[in-house]
Each structure stands twice: as C-alpha cells, then as structure tokens.
Structure 1
Amino acid sequence: MKGYFVTFFTQQNREHEGIPLATWIIEKAQKLGVGGATLFSGKEGFGHDGRFHSENLFDLEDTPLQVAIALSAEECDRLLDCINKNNLRVFYTKSEIEFGFTSES
C-alpha cells in the first residue's frame, strides 16, 4: 500500500483538552480508523525556537516526544484536518512510503 509516514514532534508538557498532546494525537488517529501509532520519548533535543528540551530528574514534563504513524493518503488528510480544526500548531514531517505486512498470518 502507498501512503505516508508522519512524525509529530512535541513535548510532554503540551496539552490539549486536558490530556498530553501526543496522547490526544494518538487517540484521534485511532478514532479516525488509523491502523496504529507509536509514541517515542526522547532523551534530549531542541525546538525551532532554540529552546533545549531534555528528560532529566528536575524537569520530566519537558521531555521531547514523537508520534510516528504510517497511514494512507486519506487517513493522513483526515488526521491533519482534525489537528488544524482544533487550531493546534504541531511540527511534523511527512514522507511518502510503501507499507504492508510480510505475510498473511
């Protein structure tokens, strides 16, 4: 199947509707029928604003997070539309891919 690999970048302390933004994205993707998503936690990084983010004992809520999803073009459009309709500003990357399973079982 042809589609897209989309990765959203955020931090643990960003929330929408009272839940972490990364969790909100995963829940919306599931409700839209996307087959799966993975949440990755990073050790450290910096954002477009130059601010340093890290996982440390003093500031665990600033941990960098990535939500990675392989999805069809239609699923991608629906998910990005949902994020935009909620007026969320989230950095993402989107690459064309081929995806599927290695066997029927």
Structure 2
Amino acid sequence: MKGYQLTFFTQQNRHHRGKHVCDWLIDSARELGVRGGTVLAATEGFGHNGKMHSSHFFELADQPEEITMVVTEDEAERLLKRLLADQLHIFYVKIPVEFGTLGESD
C-alpha cells in the first residue's frame, strides 16, 4: 500500500484540551480509524527556536516525545484536518511511504 509516515514532535509537559499532547494525538488518531502509532521518548533535542529540551534524572517534564504513524492518504488527510480544526500547535513531518504486512498473524 502507498501512504505516508507522519511523525509529530512535542514535549512531555505540553497539554491540549486537558490531556498530554501525546495522549490527545494518539486518542484522536484511534477515533479516526488509524490502525497504529508509536510513541518514543527521547533523551534530548532542540526545537525551531533553538531551545534545548531534555530528560533529567529529577525532571522529565521537558522530555522530548516523538509520535509516529504510518497511514493511508485518506487517514493522513483526516488526521491533519482534525488537528487543524482543533487548533493543535505541533510540528510534523509527512513522508511518502510504501507499507504492508508480511507473514502470518500471531
């Protein structure tokens, strides 16, 4: 199948509509029928303004998070429209991909 890899970048301390941005984004994707997503916690990174974000032993609130989904063109369009309509401010990358499943299911 052809589609897109959508990757969103945020920090653990960010909220939208009373939820962590990461949780809100995953919940919204599931509501729209996206079949899967992965959340990765990063050690450190920097944003468009050059500010460093990192996880520290005592403080994880500023820890960078990356949410990745592989979606069809229709799913990508619906998800991005939802984020725009809901006024979520988030940086994303959209990359064309070919995807599928190999082997028998468990």
**TM tier, shorter chain?**
over 0.9
- 1:80-101: CA deviation from partner (whole Å, max 9, x where unpaired): 0000001111100010001110
Match of 1:14 in 2: 14
What CA deviation, in whole Å up to 9, does each residue of 1:46-66 have, x standing for no partner?
Answer: 000111000102331100000
Post-superposition shift, 1:36? 0.2
Q: Distance in 1 between matches of 2:22 and 2:46?
A: 17
**Residue 77 of structure 1: CA displacement?**
0.4
Question: Normalising to structure 2: TM-score of the pair?
Answer: 0.95
Size of the aligned set, in residue pairs, is: 105
Counterpart Cα distance in 2 of 1:95 and 1:75: 14
Q: Which residue of 2 aligns with 1:43?
A: 43
Residue type of the alignment partner of 1:67:
I
What letter corresponds to residue 31 of structure 1 in structure 2? E
Which region of structure 1 is more displaced relative to structure 2, 57-66 or 71-80?
57-66
CA RMSD of aligned residues (A): 0.9
- Which residue of 2 is the match for residue 85 of structure 1? 85
How far, CA to CA, are the matches of 1:73 and 1:103 in structure 2?
24
Structure 1 vs Structure 2: percent identity of aligned residues?
45
Give TM-score, length-normalised by structure 1. 0.96
Q: Which runs of 4+ in 1 moved over 2 A?
A: none
